[in-house]
A = this chain, B = another copy of it.
Amino acid sequence: MNDTKPSAPIAAAVALFTIRERLEFLRLEGGQGRIPSAPLEEGETLEACARRALWEAASIEDVFLEQLYTFDGGRGHPRAIVAYYALAPHDRLRIGRTGVGWVDPTLAPTLVEEHQIIVGRACERLAGKLEYAPIAYQFLAERFTLGELQTVYEIIGRQTLDKRNFRRRIRASWDLVETRDARRGGPHRPARLYRLRDARPPWEE
Interface, chain A (partner B; CB < 8 A): 8-10, 40, 45-46, 67, 69-72, 79-80, 82
Can you report 21 residue pairs joining A to B where beta carbons are below 8 Å apart? A8-B9, A9-B9, A9-B10, A9-B79, A10-B10, A10-B79, A10-B80, A40-B79, A40-B80, A45-B72, A46-B70, A46-B71, A46-B72, A46-B80, A67-B69, A67-B70, A70-B70, A70-B80, A70-B82, A80-B80, A80-B82
Instruction: Report B-chain residues with C-beta under 8 Å of the C-beta of A46.
Output: 70-72, 80
Instruction: Name the distance in Å between A163's Cβ and chain B's nearest Cβ.
Output: 28
Instruction: Report B-chain residues with C-beta under 8 Å of the C-beta of A67.
Output: 69-70
Per DSSP, chain A at the interface is strand
Q: How far is the CA of A8 from the CA of B45 in the complex (A)?
A: 17
* 7 residue pairs, one from A and one from B, having the closest CB atoms: A70-B70, A45-B72, A9-B9, A70-B82, A10-B80, A46-B72, A10-B79
Instruction: Name the distance in Å between A39's Cβ and chain B's nearest Cβ.
Output: 11
Instruction: Name the distance in Å between A67's Cβ and chain B's nearest Cβ.
Output: 7
Instruction: Name the distance in Å between A56's Cβ and chain B's nearest Cβ.
Output: 19
Name the residue on B nearest A80 (C-beta): B10
Of A9, A45, A80, most buried by chain B (CB within 10 Å of CB) is: A80
